[in-house]
Every structure is written in C-alpha cells, then in structure tokens.
C-alpha cells in the first residue's frame, strides 16, 4: 500500500486462523487435538479509514507483544497513537513506541506494578490502582480498539478464515493478497457518516 501521510491513531490486535490440510486429516483420523494447526493473524488498523495498514502472520506460539515492533516498523508512516490490549504491556513494547514517539494506549495488566520513576506507563498503572481505568480509556479513545476486532470479523466474513495451503510461505502470500482485497473493498464500499443539522 502506498504511503499516505501521518496516521493519527492505530489499533492493533490478533486472531487465530485454522490451517487445513494434512494436519486436519490426522485430526479426523486419530481424533487428537495435538494435530490441530493454527496461525496467528496480527493487524494494525488505521482508525480514520478502517484500513489494515500493517499485517503479520505468525506461528500460534508467538506472543502479540513479539509482533508489535514488526507491525510498527513496516508502517514507514508517522504515527501519533497506538492502542493495543494488555498483552502488549511489556518492557519490550514500550521502548519501541517511545523510540518512534508514539503515544501508547495500552492498559496495564491487573497485577501491574510501577516501573522506574518517570516512566510514562506509570500513569496508566496509577489509574488502574485508583480504579479510574474507565476514564483513562475514554480520554485515550481506547474504545476504538474495537475497530481491530471489527477488521478481524470483516476479514473472516469477506474472505476465508481457513488457510488451506500446505506451506507457510504460501499461506503468508495468500493472506497478504486477502488483506489487499479487503482494503480495496473498504475503499470502495465504506459508509461515510455525515452529521446533519
């Protein structure tokens, strides 16, 4: 996708994709869950356009926080704010956001502790401990995180949720083609809300 200037707000999330093929045959034949094969789809969605602006596919064993840097590095666009779920509240993710001068909207986990004095994440931890997380989420427009889930739903409804190709590289290629197709559909058919007086 061509670069189209700065992005005000990006939301990030992940979902599982079932892989069908030899592994699925073994599941049916032997009825054992250990043969089930999944891939993980990671998306970065532009809040203003609803388009997927960065994507990654990984093995199911890869954590969401391990992919955050890859998604952001592939943007090549100035990004003001990133919203992601608590799985990205790690010491690996925050330096990436800081280096790119991106404001993080990542709620800390329920048992989160403070980091070193002056760390911007401490504000979110303080809000959590004071039970004011709802206000913090509202101020940060964290509710827009749902747009990432909407993108996942859209992908699964418009395209295939099953990866039927046998090899990993072929699965990735197919998935990237699906993302381009979905973005085209969004550009052609996205409703534009207009306020009336």
Provide the domain count of the chain.
1
* DSSP label at residue 34: G
Q: What is the pLDDT of residue 101?
A: 93
Asked if residue 83 belongs to a domain, the reply is: yes
C-alpha distances (whole Å) from 131 to each of 45, 110, 127, 160, 187 are: 29, 10, 6, 41, 40
Q: What is the pLDDT of residue 66?
A: 92
Asked if residue 26 belongs to a domain, the reply is: yes
Asked if residue 150 belongs to a domain, the reply is: yes
Minimum mean pLDDT among 37-41, 106-110, 175-179: which range?
Answer: 175-179
Q: Looking at the DSSP assignment, which residues form a beta bridge with residue 7?
A: 79
Asked if residue 113 belongs to a domain, the reply is: no
For the chain, the first-to-last Cα distance in angstroms comes to: 36
Asked if residue 115 belongs to a domain, the reply is: no
Asked if residue 178 belongs to a domain, the reply is: yes
Q: Which range marks the domain in which residue 165 is found?
A: 7-107+145-182
Rounded Cα gap, residues 87 and 42, in angstroms: 13
Mean pLDDT of 168-194: 73
Minimum mean pLDDT among 95-104, 107-116, 148-157: which range?
Answer: 148-157
Asked if residue 118 belongs to a domain, the reply is: no
Minimum mean pLDDT among 44-58, 75-89, 145-159: which range?
Answer: 145-159
Q: Domain of 34: which CATH number?
A: 3.30.420.10
Rounded Cα gap, residues 14 and 70, in angstroms: 13
pTM above 0.75, yes or no: yes
Asked if residue 20 belongs to a domain, the reply is: yes
Q: Which residue has the higher pLDDT, 21 or 110?
A: 110
Q: Which residue has the higher pLDDT, 10 or 60?
A: 10
């Amino acid at each position: 996708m061509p670069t189209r200037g700065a992005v005000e707000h990006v939301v990030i999330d992940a979902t599982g994709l079932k892989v069908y093929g030899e592994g699925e045959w073994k599941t049916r034949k032997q009825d054992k869950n250990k043969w089930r094969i999944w891939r993980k789809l990671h998306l970065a969605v532009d809040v203003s356009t609803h388009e997927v602006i960065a994507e990654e596919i990984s093995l199911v064993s890869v954590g969401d926080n391990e992919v955050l840097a890859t998604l952001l590095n592939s943007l090549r666009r100035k990004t003001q704010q990133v919203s992601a779920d608590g799985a990205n509240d790690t010491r690996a993710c925050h330096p990436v956001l800081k280096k790119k001068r991106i404001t993080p909207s990542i709620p800390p986990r329920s048992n989160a502790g403070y980091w070193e004095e002056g760390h911007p994440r401490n504000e979110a931890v303080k809000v959590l401990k004071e039970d004011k997380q709802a206000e913090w989420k509202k101020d940060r427009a964290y509710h827009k995180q749902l747009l990432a889930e909407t993108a996942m739903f859209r992908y699964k409804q418009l395209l295939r949720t099953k990866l039927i190709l046998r090899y990993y590289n072929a699965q990735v290629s197919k998935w990237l083609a699906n993302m381009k197709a979905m973005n085209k559909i969004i550009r052609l058919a996205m409703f534009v809300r207009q306020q009336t007086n």
